[in-house]
């Protein structure tokens, strides 16, 4: 109820998430390059015709170690920020409790790319930590 009112007020509703292939490719490269440290970034994109389209990674200064990736940034200053993404150095792509706390604060969708950083190890969640289906847009029709 509150949520639908929010959507009505802000026009931010979407029923499909589309991730551009390039975003996934970039994410995989960064995750591999940082292994075994975790890599994190923000997702940039927009809502068009009820589709949440993820078009790019937004990089910010971050502190990263094996257990946590803490982003140091004032989020509202980032335009087009629609969520977050980070890697896990283990094969588990479920959000940790710390991840869930972050999800609820920062944006609408949250990706986790787990080791070994391939397509199958990527999962997407909403701000409550519920799994979200998505399609990958390769740019080819």
Residue 40 binds to Zn ion (criterion: CB under 5 A):
no
Nearer to Zn ion, 18 or 96 (CB): 96
Residue 137 binds to Zn ion (criterion: CB under 5 A):
no
| Category of 90 on φ-ψ map: left (φ > 0), alpha (ψ -120 to 50) or beta | beta
- Name the one range near Zn ion by CB under 5 A: 14-22, 26-34, 88-96, 122-130: 88-96
Residue 121 binds to Zn ion (criterion: CB under 5 A):
no
What distance, in Å, lies between the first and last C-alpha atoms of the chain? 38
Reference 73, options 87, 88, 58, 86; nearest CA is 58
Instruction: Pick one of 99, 106, 111, 134: the residue that binds Zn ion (CB under 5 A).
Output: 99
- Min dist CB 68 to Zn ion, Å, is 8
- Name the one range near Zn ion by CB under 5 A: 19-27, 42-50, 93-101, 127-135: 93-101
Q: Which residues bind Zn ion (CB under 5 A)?
A: 96, 99
């Amino acid at each position: 109820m509150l949520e639908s009112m929010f959507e009505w007020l802000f026009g931010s509703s979407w029923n499909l998430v589309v991730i551009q292939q390039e975003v996934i490719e970039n994410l995989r490269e960064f995750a591999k390059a940082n292994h075994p440290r975790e890599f994190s970034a923000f997702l940039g994109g927009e809502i068009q015709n009820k589709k949440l389209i993820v078009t790019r990674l937004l990089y910010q200064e971050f502190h990263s170690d094996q257990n946590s990736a803490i982003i140091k940034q004032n989020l509202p200053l980032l335009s087009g920020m629609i969520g977050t993404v980070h890697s896990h150095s283990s094969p588990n792509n479920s959000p940790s409790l710390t991840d869930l706390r972050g999800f609820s604060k920062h944006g609408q969708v949250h990706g986790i790319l787990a080791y070994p950083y391939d397509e199958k190890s990527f999962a997407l969640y909403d701000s409550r930590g519920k799994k979200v289906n998505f399609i990958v847009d390769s740019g080819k029709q």
